[in-house]
Amino acid sequence: MKVDMRVNIAGVTFKNPVITASGCYGFGGDYTDFYPLSRLGGVCLKGTTLEPRQGNPPPRIAETPMGMLNSVGLQNPGGHAFVTEELPRLTGCGTVLIANAAGSSIESYVGLVELLEGTAIDMIELNISCPNVKEGGMAFGATCEGAARVVRAVRGRTTKPLMVKLSPNVTDIVSIAKACEAEGADAISLINTLLGMRIDIKTRRPVLNQVMGGLSGPAVFPVALRMVWQVAGAVSVPVVGLGGIEKWQDAVEMMMAGAAAVQVGTASFYDVYAPVRIIEGMEAYLEREGFGAASQLTGIARK
């Protein structure tokens, strides 16, 4: 019997539990030469801010053992260009579209989600790892109070399902997840990148122009898995797991830890077919093991 690969997150049905992660898949167009986006459960689009951003000066990408560092700085064309130029190209692509909303102030977050409200976007992923320029640059998601404030403001301005993406660069990610849930988050995604750096021993200077950047890739998977386990056990809303997933076995582990779905990011840079291979591998595993539905994986290791 064929496995039902569908999963439901906050009332949105995904044809399978594999979503491409924001920042690693652009707006999807770069990959359509290889396979149709309809193969995917969903596409989480490039982080978008209300106003255009040029991003950080180079160098802003560096390889690391089993991963990469990036300090791209949310380069994007801005919310208006996204809605008028990028989104029309995606409408009707046959998969769930998730906008990743970023900002540097409460007002900029609110302005962006208001702009997205009347569009074909199926869900908003709120990136609260952004620095709050009005509070000295501390990330909104670094404290329960900061996270709650931005989620509360955004929740009141959109009817779309709201998924909040958490930073791992905190002391207590569970408390922050619970604060987001209390303010109306419909789902939680985690983890965003870990803060790291490298030094060029020839120039004796940091490799990245901004010194530090976000570490992603297979090296972070055990940390991401641990945090998904912790958060999934503490909140009642669905959890989407990401961080270092590069093969179907990783995705199965993440769902067993409590994730309702997964996001695949850095792996797509060195294997454009990684999300598709993961979908196919998961489906074959589920059939071999006698599962009737992919959703039966969620939290099975906790029982």
Q: How far apart are CA 217 and CA 267, in angstroms?
A: 7
Active-site residue among 24, 44, 130, 180?
130
Work out the burial of residue 303: count CB atoms within 10 Å of its CB; fewer than 13 is exposed, 13-18 middle, 19 or more buried. exposed
Task: Verify cis geometry, omega within 30 degrees of 0, for the bond prior to 191.
Answer: yes
Say whether 130 is catalytic.
Answer: yes
Q: How far apart are CA 138 and CA 135, in angstroms?
A: 6
Q: Write out the two tokens for 74.
A: 């949310």
Q: Write out the two tokens for 233.
A: 């056990």
Q: How far apart are CA 248 and CA 229, in angstroms?
A: 18
Q: Write out the two tokens for 53.
A: 């951003």
Q: Write out the two tokens for 210.
A: 């901004």
Q: Which helix (H) or strand (E) holds 165?
A: strand 162-165
Indicate which residues carry an active-site annotation.
Answer: 130
